[in-house]
Structure 1
Amino acid sequence: MAKNSSASNPAAAASPSASGSSATGGRSRRLFSRRGSSAASGPRKPGQLAQMRQAFDLTRRNDPKLVPYMLLAFFGSIIVLLAVGLLVKNWITFLILGIVIGALAAMIILSLRAQNAALTQLEGQPGGARAAMSLLRRGWIMPEEPVAVNPRSRDLIFRAVGRPGVVLVTEGPTGRVQQIVNAEKTRMRRILPDVPIHVIHSGTQDGQVKLQDLPKTMRALPAKITKDEVVAVDKRLTSIGRAALPIPKGVDPTKARASRKGLRGR
């Protein structure tokens, strides 16, 4: 009876192999789907070494002193520490330490020179001052957008609040931008009568601060308010918003009316 049942139902006899093949097919499909999803996710971002190489290539094009400074930092660290190792009769350990410190010093030189090269390229570009201000670390609060704009000359004012008080950084000729600077200071004095307000003119003209020197100039300002007062001052300034764009004289948009003769076709 067992033989007859198996012979009469060949599908049941072949079920183990069918189930095995289906399981294998399911596994292969899942494997290919994972590979396909990882391949379709897009190109991978360059690693840290690739990013450092790109930064080195870009900086070397605009800064011919980059390679000599990096070599000086690298080999100078090795020579100094090797001399110390010879004095204490442990030159192998100090040689390895000198290589590590020399590589670290060269990377620091690369980072600083790349930062200066990037700011030099942004000199004279709209928003370059805000990019330089972003290099400030902790203790500063600054909006992304300018707080005052001259629509005709496209002069800008960016604001930062820190321990020195309020710092206004301008973009544009000093004489021309002074008008919107005075207007912005008047608005701020109404709600912040006792907070110091500093004005820094960024640019390459006489009396202006270059972008690469802007963070250092802002850090050198003396501290006048506490950290808690920094947050409170920023909240007050945020509450008043940006200065409204100037409206041409003689035009009142709230009282504008359409011409009746124009509507009649006369």
Structure 2
Amino acid sequence: MANNAPNPATDMNRRQQFVESYRLTKKTDRFIGLILLATFLISGALGFVLFVLLPGTGAIELALGIVGGLMIGLLTTLIVFGRRAQKSAFAQMEGQPGAAASALRLLRRGWKVDAVVGFTKQQDMVHRVVGPPGIVLIGEGNPNRLPKLMASERRKHERVAADTPVHEVIAGNEEGQVPLRKLVRHVQKLGRGVKPAELTDVLNRIKALDAQRSTIPIPKGPVPTSMKGNRGNMKGR
């Protein structure tokens, strides 16, 4: 007989993840608790009124109003929390080495993200995304040093995947750069340059390129761990 009992360990992990996301969010969003409480009460009240107005007997209307209000209030609160938690996480990542790579983790299936495929001693770095647009090189660091590093990586990738489009994106807040909070959406909007059936061949060609590289030490920094929770549990964007 199948065991349908809940798994306390899994439930605890989800609760801990939510609590950790809330704790990290509160560092840059002091009033997050009051905002979520107000969101729940207002949206829950509107949901209650909406369901009470449905035709039916008094007892059924009241039950529907209570259940509907709770569900709408909880859903709306989770959406608001997801958006504010994600905004807070991006704010905490700003200026940290490897922040762009952390933001790119929000890309879903169909995308291959490789952090720090190129770097300098001054911690300028290039990350790589392979997906529908082709090969996307994302640079972060000093805007005066990055062009040379980006050009070098572009040449390497064009040698092994000549027929694959190669895009260049600079993550940052200066003119011509893409802010962290908009990076994933920007990459997704680059269009389709590679068919799904061709991606495997592109990845195999890139694997041969990577095999020739020396081991790259990925920079470590206090990157917020709430990004993982945002991706799995809080999809309000």
Structure 1-normalised TM-score? 0.67
Shift of 1:226: 1.6
In structure 1, the partner of 2:27 is 61
Structure 1: 5+ residue stretches without partners: 1-44, 246-266
Asked whether the 8 Å contact 2:21–2:85 carries over to 1, the reply is: yes
Is the Cα–Cα contact under 8 Å of residues 139 and 170 in structure 2 kept in the other structure? yes
Residue 78 of structure 1 is matched in structure 2 by 44
**Cα distance in structure 1, aligned partners of 2:128 and 2:75:** 35
Match of 1:102 among 73, 80, 100: 73
Q: Counterpart in 1 of 2:204?
A: 235
How big is the alpha-carbon RMSD for the aligned residues of Structure 1 and Structure 2?
2.4
User: Residue type matched to 1:54 in 2?
Assistant: E
Where do residues 11-160 of structure 1 align in structure 2 (5 Å cutoff)?
47-64=13-30, 66-67=32-33, 69-89=35-55, 90-143=61-114, 145-151=115-121, 153-160=122-129
Q: CA deviation at 1:161?
A: 0.2
Deviations 1:117-176 (A, max 9, x none): 222212111111111111111110122x4111123x321000010001111110113332
* More displaced 10-residue stretch of structure 1: 153-162 or 168-177: 168-177
Q: What is the number of equivalent residue pairs in this alignment?
A: 199
Question: Deviations along 1:66-115, whole A, 9 cap, x unmatched?
Answer: 34542353234323322322321424313312212311321232233223
Rounded to whole Å, the distance in 2 between the matches of 1:48 and 1:244 is 38
- Highest Rg: 1 or 2? 1
From the superposition, tell whether residues 158 and 243 of structure 1 become closer, same or farther in structure 2 (CA, over 3 Å). Answer: farther
Letter in 2 for 1:168: L
Corresponding letter in the other structure for 1:63: D
2:133 counterpart of 1:167: no
**Cα deviations across residues 45-85 of structure 1 (Å, max 9, x unaligned)?**
96533442332233123114534542353234323322322
Give, as a single letter, the amino acid of the residue that structure 2 aligns with 1:146.
Answer: V
Structure 1 runs (4+) deviating above 6 angstroms are none
TM-score for both structures, normalised by structure 2? 0.74
Q: Is the Cα–Cα contact under 8 Å of residues 84 and 91 in structure 1 kept in the other structure?
A: no
Q: Which amino acid in structure 1 is aligned with residue 119 of structure 2?
A: V
Provide the C-alpha distance between the structure 1 equivalents of 2:27 and 2:40, rounded to a whole number of angstroms: 21
Partner Cα separation in structure 2 for residue 107 and residue 221 of structure 1 = 30
Q: 1:216 and 1:66, CA in 2 relative to 1: closer, same or farther beyond 3 A?
A: farther
Deviation per CA, 1:203-239: give whole Å up to 9, x if none: 2222222222211211222122122212221111111
Which structure 2 residue ranges, 5 or more long, are not aligned?
1-10, 56-60, 215-237
